[in-house]
């Protein structure tokens, strides 16, 4: 072996020897520490200080939670070389003990008695989700724990709770459509957290749609539920440039309007009166303006919208088709904000501002101005010098306000007010037509109409968090609907009719609801509600057939009904894929029997984050029927009446079920399909569908007389709905399809088979595409659907009267709704430009209604003639360019 090789081997031996020496010393250090003499002499000192002395003397490491030793004190006198004995001396009387986990390392744990006194070992992750710019709470926000694949959705107060978590730090993702997702780390076991989400914007006032959402398996279990934030709804098509909630809801599958651009909402084959509209927890009975052209719900005044189609949880009842929850804005808690808007129909404003650190307010108003443009009164004069004044006054208005106060994290109070109505004042020639030149003259025969109708409500809400597992909400409200119809007509030189008809419905209610967050897998909701309803109607009429032949009619109708409701609902999440929601609603309406309404919904994730299946079934009861008189012109020209169930009429009852499949193959793509079926009993249909208001006097306004014009019937609705939704900046595409039937049958009228309902639409397709880039926005929207049913006569016959010179022709219509109007289709366009000027944000919008000027047939009448039948079609609106201007400070 060479000298060089010996040197290399000696060098390796030296290195190994040095490493062995270091290992020996390292291993021996703990042994020497344990055998070292330990001296402790402390009297009533903080335990943390005594433990630090022991660590300094021995070199050992102690692991413990600060909460275990907080406020603990130690008294100990020890001298020796055993670490375990020294620890036992220090921990004497503290209900703690030391456990050795490895050489030189100990952990302090609590005994069973100590754990009972210091609280559970598990923690609770809870808090509120708020808008970072305005301070508004965000109901429906998603809070998700990616590591556990568990999550929660914030309630109406923006509160969430994830209980029975191990006390540790967790990765948390908070998301809400239209806001940047928040990824953070939170500790389970502390006080409720406040999480702030930032709205994501691009350019000047252009809202981007954030595609990051809660995984599908953590969304609502109830089928047909849509929770959409207001910034998203504001970008959906809305005629005629108004920020109108009901106009945008018709783009959802299963929702349509009963008219071309006006009329009530029809949800899954139901009727407009089968929908419940809630504004800050209080019901709105007539949410329409301009003869159902636009709604009373201004999208900009809300912070959250939730729509239940067909199936809704046990906390809601009293309707059969749908429930719409709208929450007004609390007001900007960070800085004042003002918005002004001018549309073709109305002018509007919104003002919101903080008051103090914990309070804010919002106020909004809207009024139409057509009466100001064309004038309300028109003096006219004929060639003989005779003068008269014609009137063409009409306007609608809305006023809403909200005051919110949050004295602390656990308390929140709000006071909401809304008032809105319509005012119609007409005096026109009796034979008026669209020939406006004929109006501008005095008339011997004329009619006058003074119609006023509207809603008013006050709602007080107190939300309280007594413990982090309990959330209590109390709502007290007063809601009323009033309509007045003053009518005067002079059909001949000697005859005249004058009437004054009023309708008043008032609700006084209170609801207390408590949520208990037991564990991650169990959540319970209990609630009780009491509502006192008052129904009043009056009629004062004077019918003059000749100068000395005068009849008067004075009637009063008043009813009261008390509804008491108790409901319970339990949510069970056994795994990350399964969720079950079972509920029961018990209600009693006056002296009627107790009605039970079971509800069941289930959700199963077929593929995590991509495909989810939902199933819902339940029983629903509606105690109120909406009717109108079908005979007289003296009253009930515009207003409808709500008739309570009682001895003469049973409440409407429906069983309905739905199955829904939702898929998200990409974060920006959502596919949704639903099958539904509803079976309904005790709905009311007219006994004479062809009855016309051709008489001056009617049978009266008594409830029994009105019910005598209707008959109980059966109804069923079934169909399929599909939605394709793409939110990928700068594009947004929305395609919804619905196909199904809505059928009625009245056995009392001799009907043996189902017939199409009034608004039965077998097929409908809605679509729009929107492109947004910087300051510009361009959109195309289209609608294609089947025509509404119509009754086609099958024969014409004549009846002779000896006193009449000519026979009278009649049409024979044995089957109701045996025909159908032509298909309806329309394309709209919208171009918007946003810019900054004078320190404000401006938006100019051009909305072109019916871009191709296709005049759809929206109604068809048949009139007999001496030689046959004449068909009269009423067509829809032509092409209408509409301009809107909006300014925001």
Q: Each residue of 237-254: pLDDT tens digit? A: 776 556 778 888 888 888
Out of 119-123, 284-288, 546-550, which region has the weakest mean confidence (pLDDT)? Answer: 119-123
Residue 231 confidence class, pLDDT cut points 50, 70, 90: confident
Q: Is the pLDDT of residue 206 over 80?
A: no
The residue that leads in pLDDT, 515 or 229, is 515
Q: What pLDDT is stored for residue 30 in this prediction?
A: 38
- C-alpha 222/C-alpha 215 separation (Å) is 16
- Percentage helix, strand, coil for the chain under 3-state DSSP, each rounded to 5: 10, 55, 30
- C-alpha 331/C-alpha 621 separation (Å) is 36
The answer to whether residues 303 and 230 touch, using CB atoms and an 8 Å cutoff, is yes
Residue 262 exposed, middle or buried by CB count within 10 Å (0-12, 13-18, 19+): middle
Q: Is the pLDDT of residue 434 over 80?
A: no
Residue 1 exposed, middle or buried by CB count within 10 Å (0-12, 13-18, 19+): exposed
Q: For residue 345, give the nearest of 716, 888, 884, 827 by alpha carbon.
A: 884
- CA 417 to chain CA mean position, Å: 18
Q: How do beta strands 142-145 and 819-820 pair?
A: unpaired
The answer to whether residues 426 and 448 touch, using CB atoms and an 8 Å cutoff, is yes
How far CA 858 is from CA of 261, 737, 759, 854, in Å, comes to 11, 21, 12, 12
Interacting residues of 184 by C-beta distance below 8 A, sequence separation 6+:
171, 172, 174, 195
741 forms beta bridges with 718
Interacting residues of 223 by C-beta distance below 8 A, sequence separation 6+:
309, 310, 311, 601, 614, 615, 616, 658, 659, 660, 674, 676
Residue 344 confidence class, pLDDT cut points 50, 70, 90: confident
How far CA 110 is from CA of 99, 113, 565, in Å, comes to 10, 8, 47
How far CA 191 is from CA of 465, 638, 828, in Å, comes to 12, 55, 51
Other beta carbons within 10 Å of 676: 25
Q: What pLDDT is stored for residue 209 in this prediction?
A: 43
DSSP 706: H
Please state, rounded to an integer, the average pLDDT across all residues of the chain: 84
Q: Is the pLDDT of residue 32 over 50?
A: no
Q: For residue 481, give the nearest of 284, 288, 313, 232 by alpha carbon.
A: 284
The answer to whether residues 857 and 874 touch, using CB atoms and an 8 Å cutoff, is yes
Which two tokens mark 746? 């009245």
CA angle 646, 700, 640 (to 5 degrees): 65
Q: What pLDDT is stored for residue 244 in this prediction?
A: 79
CA angle 137, 143, 144 (to 5 degrees): 170
849 forms beta bridges with 880
The answer to whether residues 246 and 237 touch, using CB atoms and an 8 Å cutoff, is no
Q: What pLDDT is stored for residue 429 in this prediction?
A: 76
Residue 417 confidence class, pLDDT cut points 50, 70, 90: very high
> Averaged over 376-399, what is the pLDDT?
84
Other beta carbons within 10 Å of 225: 22
Helix boundaries (H) for 316-427: 370-374
Interacting residues of 123 by C-beta distance below 8 A, sequence separation 6+:
165, 166, 167, 168, 187, 188, 189, 190
Q: What pLDDT is stored for residue 781 in this prediction?
A: 94
- C-alpha 537/C-alpha 847 separation (Å) is 42
388 forms beta bridges with 380
Residue 575: strand, helix, or coil: coil
> Averaged over 85-92, what is the pLDDT?
85
Task: Tell me the HSE value of 48 on the side-chain side, using a 13 A CA sphere.
Answer: 8
Q: Each residue of 474-526: pLDDT tens digit? A: 999 999 999 998 888 877 777 788 889 999 999 999 999 999 998 888 999 99
Which two tokens mark 295? 């709604």
Task: Tell me the HSE value of 208 on the side-chain side, using a 13 A CA sphere.
Answer: 19
Q: Is the pLDDT of residue 859 over 80?
A: yes
> Averaged over 673-680, what is the pLDDT?
96
Q: Is the pLDDT of residue 17 over 60?
A: no
Other beta carbons within 10 Å of 14: 10
Q: Each residue of 117-169: pLDDT tens digit? A: 444 456 788 899 988 888 888 888 888 888 787 888 888 888 999 888 877 77
- C-alpha 538/C-alpha 534 separation (Å) is 13
Q: What pLDDT is stored for residue 582 in this prediction?
A: 96
Q: What pLDDT is stored for residue 865 in this prediction?
A: 84
What are the DSSP E strand ranges found in 468-521? 470-490, 496-517
Q: For residue 535, give the nearest of 508, 563, 559, 501 by alpha carbon.
A: 559
Residue 219 confidence class, pLDDT cut points 50, 70, 90: low
Report the first-to-last Cα separation within the chain, whole angstroms: 93
- C-alpha 809/C-alpha 794 separation (Å) is 14
Residue 33: strand, helix, or coil: helix
Other beta carbons within 10 Å of 183: 12
Q: What pLDDT is stored for residue 23 in this prediction?
A: 31
Largest pairwise CA distance in the chain: 149
The answer to whether residues 303 and 608 touch, using CB atoms and an 8 Å cutoff, is no
pLDDT above 70 as % of the chain: 87
Interacting residues of 674 by C-beta distance below 8 A, sequence separation 6+:
223, 224, 253, 254, 658, 659, 660, 661, 720, 721, 722
Residue 832: strand, helix, or coil: strand
- C-alpha 164/C-alpha 521 separation (Å) is 9
Q: For residue 88, give the nearest of 61, 36, 51, 114 by alpha carbon.
A: 51
Task: Tell me the HSE value of 864 on the side-chain side, using a 13 A CA sphere.
Answer: 15
Q: What pLDDT is stored for residue 240 in this prediction?
A: 55
How far CA 201 is from CA of 209, 237, 728, 757, 845, in Å, comes to 9, 20, 14, 45, 19
Q: How do beta strands 193-197 and 122-131 pair?
A: parallel
The answer to whether residues 391 and 426 touch, using CB atoms and an 8 Å cutoff, is yes
Out of 239-243, 313-317, 654-658, which region has the weakest mean confidence (pLDDT)? Answer: 239-243
- CA 101 to chain CA mean position, Å: 55
- C-alpha 527/C-alpha 308 separation (Å) is 19
- CA 693 to chain CA mean position, Å: 38
Task: Tell me the HSE value of 604 on the side-chain side, using a 13 A CA sphere.
Answer: 6
Q: Each residue of 737-761: pLDDT tens digit? A: 999 999 999 998 888 899 999 999 9
Q: Which domains does the chain have, with CATH numbers?
A: 36-118 (3.55.50.30), 122-214 (2.60.40.1120), 245-888 (2.40.170.20)
Other beta carbons within 10 Å of 412: 24
CA angle 256, 745, 798 (to 5 degrees): 100
Helix axes 47-58, 83-90, angle to 10 degrees: 170
Q: Is the pLDDT of residue 383 over 60?
A: yes
Q: For residue 134, give the nearest of 396, 421, 362, 364 by alpha carbon.
A: 362
The answer to whether residues 761 and 823 touch, using CB atoms and an 8 Å cutoff, is no
Which two tokens mark 580? 């079950």
Burial 286-316 (b: 16+ CB within 10 A, else e): bbbbbebbbbbbbbbbbbbbbbbbbbbbbbb
Which two tokens mark 417? 């007010």
Which two tokens mark 583? 């509920």
Other beta carbons within 10 Å of 187: 14
């Amino acid at each position: 072996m060479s000298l060089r090789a010996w040197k290399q081997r000696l060098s390796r031996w030296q290195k190994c020897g040095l490493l062995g020496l270091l290992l020996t010393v390292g291993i021996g250090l703990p042994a020497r520490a344990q055998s070292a003499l330990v001296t402790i002499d402390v009297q009533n000192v903080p335990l943390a200080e005594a433990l630090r002395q022991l660590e300094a003397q021995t070199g050992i490491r102690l692991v413990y939670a600060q909460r275990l030793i907080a406020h603990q004190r130690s008294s100990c006198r020890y001298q020796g070389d055993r670490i375990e004995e020294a620890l036992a001396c220090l921990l004497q009387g503290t209900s703690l003990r030391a456990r050795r986990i490895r050489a030189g390392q100990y952990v302090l744990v609590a005994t069973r008695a100590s754990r009972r006194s210091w609280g559970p070992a598990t923690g609770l992750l809870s808090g509120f989700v708020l808008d970072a710019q305005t301070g508004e709470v965000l109901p429906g926000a998603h809070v998700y724990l990616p590591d556990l694949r568990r999550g929660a959705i914030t309630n109406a107060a923006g509160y969430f709770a994830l209980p029975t978590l191990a006390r540790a730090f967790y990765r948390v993702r908070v998301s809400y459509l239209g806001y940047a997702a928040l990824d953070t780390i939170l500790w389970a076991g502390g006080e409720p957290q406040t999480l702030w989400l930032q709205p994501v914007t691009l350019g000047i006032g252009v809202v981007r749609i954030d595609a990051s959402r809660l995984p599908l398996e953590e969304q609502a279990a109830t089928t047909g539920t849509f929770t959409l934030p207001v910034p998203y709804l504001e970008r959906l098509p809305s005629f005629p440039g108004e920020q109108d909630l009901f106009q945008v809801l018709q783009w959802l599958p299963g929702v349509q309007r009963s008219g071309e651009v006006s009329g009530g909402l029809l949800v899954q084959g139901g009727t407009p009166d089968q929908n419940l509209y809630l504004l800050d927890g209080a019901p709105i009975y007539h949410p329409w303006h301009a003869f159902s052209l636009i709604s009373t719900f201004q999208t900009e005044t809300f912070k959250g919208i939730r729509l239940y189609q067909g199936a809704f949880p046990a906390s809601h009842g009293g309707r059969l088709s749908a429930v719409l929850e709208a929450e007004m804005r609390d007001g900007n808690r960070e800085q004042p904000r003002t918005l002004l808007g001018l549309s073709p129909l109305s002018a509007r404003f919104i003002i919101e501002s903080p008051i103090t650190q914990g309070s804010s307010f919002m106020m909004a108003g809207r009024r139409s101005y057509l009466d100001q443009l064309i004038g309300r009164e028109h003096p006219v004069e004929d060639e003989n010098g005779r003068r008269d004044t014609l009137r063409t006054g009409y306007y609608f208005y809305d006023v809403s306000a909200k005051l919110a106060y949050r004295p602390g994290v656990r308390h929140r109070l709000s006071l909401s007010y809304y008032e809105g109505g319509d005012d119609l004042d007409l005096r026109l020639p009796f034979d008026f037509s669209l020939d406006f030149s004929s109006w501008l003259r005095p008339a011997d025969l004329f009619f006058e109409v003074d119609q006023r109708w509207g809603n008013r409500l006050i709602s007080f809400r107190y939300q309280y968090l007594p413990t982090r597992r309990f959330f209590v909400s109390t709502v007290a409200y007063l809601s009323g609907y009033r309509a007045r119809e003053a009518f005067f007509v002079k059909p001949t030189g000697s005859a005249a009719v004058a009437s004054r008809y009023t309708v008043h419905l008032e609700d006084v209610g209170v609801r207390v609801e408590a949520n208990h967050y037991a564990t991650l897998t169990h959540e319970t909701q209990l609630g009780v509600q009491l509502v006192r309803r008052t129904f009043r109607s009056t009629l004062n009429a004077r019918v003059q057939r000749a100068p000395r032949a005068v009849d008067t009619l004075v009637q009063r109708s008043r009813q009261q009904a008390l509804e008491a409701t108790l409901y319970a609902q339990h949510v069970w999440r056994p795994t990350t894929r399964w969720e079950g929601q079972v509920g029961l609603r018990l209600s009693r309406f006056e002296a009627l029997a107790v009605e039970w309404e079971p509800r069941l919904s289930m959700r199963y994730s077929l593929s995590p984050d991509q495909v989810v299946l939902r199933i819902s079934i339940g029983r629903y009861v509606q105690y109120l029927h909406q009717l109108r008189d079908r005979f007289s012109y003296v009253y009930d020209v515009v207003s409808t009446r709500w008739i309570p169930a009682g001895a003469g009429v049973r409440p409407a009852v429906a069983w309905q079920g739905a199955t829904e499949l939702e898929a998200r193959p990409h974060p920006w793509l959502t596919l949704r399909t639903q099958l539904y079926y509803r079976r309904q009993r005790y709905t009311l249909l007219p006994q004479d569908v062809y009855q016309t208001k051709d008489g001056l006097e009617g049978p009266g306004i008594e409830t029994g007389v009105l019910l005598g014009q209707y008959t109980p019937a059966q109804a069923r609705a079934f169909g399929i709905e599909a939605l394709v939704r793409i939110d990928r900046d700068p594009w947004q595409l929305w395609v919804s399809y619905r196909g199904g039937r809505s059928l009625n049958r009245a056995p009392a009228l001799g009907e043996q088979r189902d017939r199409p309902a009034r608004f039965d639409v077998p097929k409908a397709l809605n679509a729009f595409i929107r492109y947004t880039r910087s300051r510009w926005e361009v959109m195309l929207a289209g609608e294609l659907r089947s025509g509404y049913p119509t009754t086609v006569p099958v024969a014409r016959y004549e009846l002779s009267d000896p006193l009449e010179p000519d026979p009278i022709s009649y049409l024979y219509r044995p089957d109701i709704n045996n025909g159908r109007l032509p298909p309806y289709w329309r394309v709209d366009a919208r171009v918007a430009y946003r810019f900054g000027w004078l320190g404000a944000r401006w938006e100019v919008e051009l909305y072109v209604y019916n871009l191709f000027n296709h005049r759809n047939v929206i109604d068809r009448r048949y009139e007999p003639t001496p030689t046959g039948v004449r068909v009269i079609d009423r067509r829809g609106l032509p092409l209408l360019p509409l301009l809107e201007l909006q300014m925001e400070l």
